[in-house]
Structure 1
């Protein structure tokens, strides 16, 4: 499980860096929050999940870890896409889509915490 988290984190990192580069080239920084969240929730969080699961394989080999992976990797793109489109178009109805994505991410993070407390000895 740790490996897949690390590999997916690099995809988020690449997208975040390319978005940052594109914003710099065109001098339009409206998507700064999307760029920051892709790097923090995608790259940093996923890499940390991957490293932690690598060092604690008992936590990685649970249904909670798998559920957390999918919630996070559905929630982040849904949230980022909705926020990005909302910023570009001003379409306020996408707030609810961004909230749904955010809730998926929050549930995933809470499952990660629960999983670590249950599986990692103190």
Structure 2
């Protein structure tokens, strides 16, 4: 799982930097919130999860770990896409807002599962 999270972290890092470079070159910083979520939730949190798996949850490929990975990826991708639509003015807040709420809860559930896995690992 550590490698999966590391690879997705690097992918989000590249995506975030591309968006940042585009904003700087175009002098249009309307996607700053999207860029921030890509870099923090996509890159930093995924990298943090990779480190946790490597250092405290080695070899954990249990169902809970796979579920946690999928929740994090789904929540992050959904939030990033939704924020892009919102801040790019492709979709009104009244329409995309509830969708963003759902993906936020999904990402939160992934974080809670990580906490549970760390607690379980500490007990063994």
Range class of TM-score, shorter chain: over 0.9
Q: Which runs of 5+ in 1 are unaligned?
A: none
Mapping of 1:86-101 within 5 angstroms?
A: 86-89=86-89, 91-92=92-93, 93-101=95-103
**TM-score by structure 2 length?**
0.91
Tell me if 1:119 matches 2:98: no
Q: CA deviation at 1:121?
A: 4.4
Q: CA deviation at 1:58?
A: 4.8
SS class of match (2:29): coil
Mean Cα displacement is larger for which, 112-121 or 101-110? 112-121
Q: Which runs of 5+ in 2 are unaligned?
A: none
Residues 34-55 of structure 1: CA distance to partner in whole angstroms, max 9, x if unpaired? 1111111111111111111012
The Cα RMSD (Å) is: 1.6
Count of aligned residue pairs for this structure pair: 122
SS class of match (1:30): coil
Residues 2-52 of structure 1: CA distance to partner in whole angstroms, max 9, x if unpaired? 111101100000001110000000011111111111111111111111111
Residue of structure 1 in register with 2:54 after alignment: 54
Structure 2 contact 16–39 (Cα < 8 Å) conserved:
yes
Q: Which runs of 4+ in 1 moved over 6 A?
A: none
